Amino acid sequence: MLIEINDVSKKIKGALILKHVTLQFKGGLVYGFQGPNGSGKTMLLRLVAGLILPTEGEVLIDGARLGRDIDFPPSVGLLIENPAFLPGYTGKRNLELLADLRGRVGDREICEAICDVGLDPEDKRKYRKYSLGMKQRLGVAAAIMEKPDLLLLDEPTNALDEKGVEMLCALIRRERDRGACVLVACHDREILDRLADEIYTVQEGCVERRPL
């Protein structure tokens, strides 16, 4: 997989959120983005996901332009901002509903993803009864269950305890090793130092590579 961001700027309500960003991402690598809240990290992930389109410039996924040739990356898993699921359903049922949208995975893969994040597929509690950490884990499970070529994770360690962070790091390495292109936005420099093959700083919409 090759993702190309070519001289992209994004304005929202007159404010310049991303400023002339040019980047390339390849499969089999983890890219980390560090910056304070409001710096543009989340907008960058939304841009790559096709959830927003650039005001100027272009985003190419394997040569196909988002917003013209394709609406979204063809194989993507994402956790952007806070996970949101239907509160009256179990975690497994929520993932089943998501999986039905594209029909790429079945019960086995769903249960595997739930187990991978340390949850129980047979847990009958509704999502509304989940702790914040459990909700975050389910969000990660939703992102990885289809084994996407592109994985976008925005502050994925939110609400996770130390054991949960170790689980997350192991999953991200696994996804990278099977060839996925992984983009992780995180304010915690130590986490990115542990995970990322390349690290970028994001400040007021400008993105610069940080030497490792």
Q: Residue with structure tokens 């192991």?
A: 170
| 29-42+68-210 fold | Rossmann fold (3.40.50)
Q: How far apart are CA 7 and CA 9, in angstroms?
A: 7
User: Do the beta carbons of residue 1 and residue 73 sit within 8 Å?
Assistant: no
* pTM as predicted: 0.94
Strand partners, 163: none
Q: What's residue 212's pLDDT?
A: 60
Q: How far apart are CA 34 and CA 53, in angstroms?
A: 22
Q: What average pLDDT does range 100-117 have in this prediction?
A: 96
pLDDT tens column, 42-57: 999 999 999 999 999 9
Q: Residue with structure tokens 């952007």?
A: 80
Q: What's residue 89's pLDDT?
A: 98
Q: Residue with structure tokens 């054991």?
A: 163
Q: How do the domains of the chain map onto residue ranges?
A: 29-42+68-210
pLDDT tens column, 84-102: 999 999 999 999 999 999 9
Question: For 211, which DSSP code?
Answer: P
Q: Which of 20-29, 86-95, 122-131, 202-211 has the lowest mean pLDDT?
A: 202-211
